Amino acid sequence: MVALAGAIVLSAGACAGEGGATTADAEGSSGLTVYSGRDEEFVGPVFEAFTEDEGIELEVRYGDSAELAATILEEGESSPADVFLSQDAGSLGAVAEAGLFAQLDDEVLDRVDERFRSPDGLWVGTSGRARVAAYNTGALAEGDLPESIDGFTDPSWEGRIGFAPTNSSFQAFVAGMIETEGADATRSFLDGIVANEPNIYEDNSSTVRAVASGEIDVGFVNHYYIYEVAAEDGDIPVANHFFVGGDPGALVNTAGIGILETSDEAGAAATLVDYLTGKQGQTYFAEETYEYPVVAGIEPREDLVPLEEIESPELDLSDLGGTLEPALELLAEVGLL
């Protein structure tokens, strides 16, 4: 029995040895190690295009943005990562605050809308996503929808709205609302929404599917989900409605990238940051993931409200994480979590 177990361990070790060898080979080609909090589904193709265009091999480690940020914090000076690409500004802010990011070139920073980069020049946005109300075009016309998300607390919306309270983008929206409107206003907004008996979904795509099937008329989601669901399910009768006037419902969050201070591939890392914030990268995000380019001169999908016209609430995106706890507490108190 023990001999058998030993044999299994050894064979596992041997397999591990082989696996380790391939990793070492890849390292031998002086590749760039990227920690990616964005899913392979979204960014895999643009990484491949980068390698093809620039001749720099990438070793991409996929994971959850916040967990990868925690990993980098634990690794500290020993981090094997050269670059950290994150789904949200909060994770970038945490790494920046720990002093683990290197300063980025001014040239790269200046390309990007001021709302979507680190005030200290330690990380820069790569693409934006806007909160919207996705509505069923069979049930509603654009003009039927309120200008502020607060309008959905009106009793006429009872039983017609839905969202995913466990989704981090929704939670970031609530955190943003606390930042700009205060906790009391946020609570009365949430109370009003709860009074309208919203439908609760597991995630954004389920919410969009419910809007498509007519189960609800309106869902609070990120702007690109209607395109993703359409790609999987076929044409759906759903359109995006954007809130205006700096409304908390119009929060635009950003994915972004930073270079680790300890990277010994700083040159190649800078090339990747340049690529993703350059024409090829930005066009990719606009056309393939239906996100907002964050650099002037690259247009989003034509049926989207241009980014500069979205009056998003005034706040520092990388600070939103700190307000997440009160946001979750509030959501729990009103019974949404």
Partner 1 sequence: MVQTASFGQVRFARGRGGRVPRGLLLLAVPVTALLLLPVGYLLVRAAEADAGSWDLILRGRTVELALRSVALVTAVTGAAALIGVPLAWLTTRTDLPGKRVWAVLLSLPLVIPSYVGAFALLAAFGPRGLLQGSLERVFGVHRIPDISGFPGAFVSLTLFTYPYVFLLVAAALRGLDPSLEEASRSLGHSRWRTFRSVTLPLLRPSIAAGSLLVALYTLHDFGAVSLMRFNVFTQAIYLQYRGAFDRTPAAILSLMLIAIAGVILALERRARGKARYHRSGAGSARPAAAASLGRWKWVALSVCALVAAVAFVAPIAVIVFWLLRGIRAGGEAVLPWGAAGGSMVVAAGGAALALLAALPIALLSVRYRGRVGAATEALSYSGYALPGIVVALAFVFFAANFTPSLYQSLPLVVIAYAVLFLPQMSEPLRGSLLQVGPGIEEAGRALGRSRTKVFRVLTAPLIARGATAGAALVFLTSMKELPATLLLRPTGFETLATRVWTGASVGLFAKAAGPALMLIVICCVPLYILARRAEVDRVDVRAE
Binding site for partner 1 (CB under 8 A): 1-2, 5-6, 8-9, 12-13, 15-16, 19-20, 23, 26, 33, 39-42, 59-64, 66-67, 69-71, 73-76, 78-80, 90-91, 93-94, 97, 165-166, 168, 199-200, 202-206, 210, 215, 225, 228-229, 232-234, 321-322, 324-325, 328-329, 332, 337
Q: Which two tokens stand for residue 197?
A: 């008996």
What type of residue is 290? Y
| The token pair that represents 40 in the structure block | 């392979």
Output the smallest distance, CB 217 to partner 1, in A.
Answer: 14
* Cβ closest to partner 1, residue 237 vs residue 246: 237
Exposure class string for 264-280: b at 16+ Cβ within 10 A, else e: ebeebbbbbbbbbbeee
Rounded least distance, CB 260 to partner 1, Å: 13
User: From the CB of 308, what's the least distance to partner 1, in Å?
Assistant: 28
Distance of closest approach, residue 14 Cβ to partner 1, in angstroms: 10
Nearer to partner 1 among residue 146 and residue 322 (C-beta): 322
Closest to partner 1 by CB, 61 or 187: 61
Closer residue to partner 1 in complex, CB, 79/186: 79
Total residue count of the chain as it appears in this document: 337
Output the smallest distance, CB 89 to partner 1, in A: 12
User: Among residues 110 and 197, whose Cβ is nearest to partner 1?
Assistant: 197
Nearest distance, CB of residue 184 and partner 1, angstroms: 18
Whole-angstrom CA distances from 276 to 207, 211, 273, 279, 288 are 30, 33, 5, 8, 13
HSE-CB for 315 with a 13 A CA cutoff: 30
Helix (H) or strand (E) holding 134: strand 124-136
Which residue number, 288 or 325, has a Cβ lying nearer to partner 1? 325
Q: Minimal distance in Å, beta carbon 2 to partner 1?
A: 7
CA distance readout (Å), 85 to 65, 90, 235, 255: 8, 12, 32, 7
How far apart are the C-alpha atoms of 241 and 151, rounded to whole Å?
13
Q: Which is nearer to partner 1, 29 or 309 (CB)?
A: 29
Question: For the chain, where are the alpha helices, taking DSSP H only?
Answer: 2-28, 40-54, 65-75, 89-97, 106-111, 168-181, 183-195, 204-213, 225-233, 266-276, 279-287, 324-333
Q: Helix or strand or coil: residue 5? A: helix
